Amino acid sequence: GEDVEQSLFLSVREGDSSVINCTYTDSSSTYLYWYKQEPGAGLQLLTYIFSNMDMKQDQRLTVLLNKKDKHLSLRIADTQTGDSAIYFCAESPGSYIPTFGRGTSLIVHP
């Protein structure tokens, strides 16, 4: 079956880099996503990567994919207090229904 695992909490100091990790089990995953959920809000798609890529960079965000180990990470450079949120990893085999992890709460402190 499909399963997406990620650690529940991460605490970083403002200005440092944050790295949020995720592992998945479905080897047929085609799209891998990172979503951000701020308090009281819905999920916002941050970035995604195709399974035939191993890295994608978008401003302060870097996504790394190790397909062999089924490991996905999201690096946020120069983390700011506004980055505090829950970050969800999700994977999809190309169908319309992504499978979500439980989310990682990122806490940024001064």
Partner 1 sequence: NAGVMQNPRHLVRRRGQEARLRCSPVKGHSHVYWYRQLPEEGLKFMVYLQKENIIDESGMPKERFSAEFPKEGPSILRIQQVVRGDSAAYFCASSPGGSGRDNEQFFGPGTRLTVL
Q: Does the footprint of partner 1 cover residue 97 (CB under 8 A)? A: yes
- CB burial of residue 1 (10 Å; 0-12, 13-18, 19+): exposed
Q: Does the footprint of partner 1 cover residue 15 (CB under 8 A)? A: no
Q: Does the footprint of partner 1 cover residue 41 (CB under 8 A)? A: yes
Q: Is-contact 20 87, C-beta < 8 A?
A: yes
Of 4 and 76, the one with the shorter C-beta distance to partner 1 is: 4
Q: Which residue stretch of 55-63, 64-72, 76-84, 101-109 sits at the interface with partner 1 (rule: CB under 8 A)?
A: 101-109
Query: Minimal distance in Å, beta carbon 102 to partner 1?
Result: 5
Q: Does the footprint of partner 1 cover residue 43 (CB under 8 A)? A: yes
3-state secondary structure 86-110: EEEEEEECCCCCCEECCCEEEEEEC
Return the bridge partners of 106, or none.
10, 85
18: nearest Cα among 99, 85, 77, 68: 77
Q: Which residue stretch of 12-20, 54-62, 76-84, 89-97 sits at the interface with partner 1 (rule: CB under 8 A)?
A: 89-97
What residue ranges bind partner 1 (CB under 8 A)?
Answer: 4, 8, 30-31, 35, 40-45, 48, 88, 94, 96-103
